[in-house]
Amino acid sequence: MLETPVIESSSHMQLAGREKELTFMQNPGWQVEVDRATSTEWSRRLDLFDDANIYQTSAYGEVRWGEKNLSRLVLKRDGEIMGMAQLRIIRPTPLKFGMAYLRWGPLWERGGLPLDPEVPMRMARAIEDEYLDKRKLFLRVLPNAYAGSPRAATMHAAFCRLTPEPPEADNIYRTFVLDLGPSLDELRRRLDKKWRNQLTRSEKNNLRVVAGNGSEEYRTFCQIYSQMRKRKTFETTVDADEFGDLQEALVESQRMRILICEDNGVAVAGLVASAMGDSAIYLLGATSDEGLNSKGAYLLQWTLISWLKERGVRWYDLGGIDPEGNPGVYHFKRGFSGADVCQINPLVASDSAVSSGIVKAGLAIQRTLRGSLNPLNLARSLKQLATRN
């Protein structure tokens, strides 16, 4: 799913792709199904894709947005599933306007199969036909693709009808991505020297790592996380209880991995990550008051990396970084020696002046309030604007 960044132009792909598109869409072997997959069916099908991720799970959609606000699109060729996309639909009033929001999708990389360049083109066209043309919604796509990568070029070529949003502080996702292809010995050698020394120190502290994906492990993590919040008193949009609900709702194969570090039987550090398809994402981490000197966070990360390699996971996304706003976390994550990358800007389009005007105004309000990507806040803003207008 993720690639080592490679800069390449996509302009020729856009032209060639759209010239071929009419021919593609006339092929009766392709079918598009909208809002026909049940939650169970969606979960099962998601495991077919290398680019699957937690934000496209039925559990995430239902817990975060509510089942009634979801729309699921499936692309098939001769009955075989080739692409999927789960979108959040925001309609603040019964009137025919609003927004369709696609986060970290669409999915089109079938495990074990080479990518057919026709699939991204058809997937983009199906999404545009359904949500732009039929439903007259403002379409916002937050792709799981990093600037300069082949996947980003494919995304821009397929969605050439959409326009990248101007870069803003709240729509830029910058992270480190670690290539897990090398051996464990090589990965350890590549660690920053100070990071590697801290890892060695943690390994000498007689710490014990407990791993699992159950409610008990998550409750233990929340206790550590609560201590850390009180100690650091930082602002966050993370809802730990919501992650707990999500863990309960996820099917077994898609549950988050929870690692707890114990020092003499006392939990002192914890980590929560999601591993799906060929990639993993670091979601949450915490260290208790008693664990500040144990260096358990280093041992937990190295334990997770070892487990990911055993599962054949190729890429590890270390989560967002903010060198100026959160330098401590930035320096910790930089020690892995991963690639410093930025997700491409969200792609947007609308053929409805009403949907476009309302949604853009709502997004502007939420950016002012520093909560633009919170879908609940956005929905409230859209409803307020719709009522006023």
Q: What is the DSSP string of 328-355?
A: HHHHHHHTT--EEEEBPPPEEE-S-HHH
Residue 24 confidence (pLDDT): 45
Q: Give the model's pLDDT for residue 22.
A: 42
pLDDT at 369 over 60: no
Integer Cα distance of 90 and 100 in angstroms: 6
Q: Does pLDDT of 371 surpass 70?
A: no
Per-residue pLDDT at 326 exceeds 90: no
Q: Which two tokens stand for residue 226?
A: 């609560």
Average pLDDT over all residues of the chain: 86
CB 108 within 8 A of CB 51: yes
Please state which of the four CATH numbers 3.40.50.2300, 3.30.200.20, 3.40.630.30, 3.40.50.300 is assigned to the domain occupying 11-167+345-388: 3.40.630.30
| Residue 307: pLDDT over 50 | yes
Is there a shared CATH topology between the 11-167+345-388 domain and the 175-342 domain?
yes
Average pLDDT of the segment spanning 296-319: 97
Query: pLDDT at position 342, please?
Result: 95
Structure confidence at residue 351 as a pLDDT band (50, 70, 90): confident
Q: Please report which confidence band the pLDDT of residue 325 belongs to, taking 50, 70 and 90 as the band edges.
A: confident
Is the model more confident about 289 or about 333?
Answer: 333
Q: Examine the pLDDT at 388 and tell me if it is beyond 50.
A: no
Which has the higher per-residue pLDDT, 365 or 171? 171
- Exposure letters 68-78 (e unless 16+ CB within 10 A, then b): ebbbbbbbebe
- Average pLDDT value for residue range 21-46: 83
pLDDT attached to residue 193: 96
In whole angstroms, give the CA distance from residue 155 to residue 171.
Answer: 17
Out of 53-57, 60-64, 231-235, 282-286, least confident range = 231-235
C-alpha span between 42 and 44 (Å, rounded): 5
Chain centroid to CA 172: 13
Amino acid 18: pLDDT: 44
Give pTM, 2 decimals.
0.84
Domain range annotation of the chain: 11-167+345-388, 175-342
Architecture of the structural domain at 175-342: 3-Layer(aba) Sandwich (3.40)
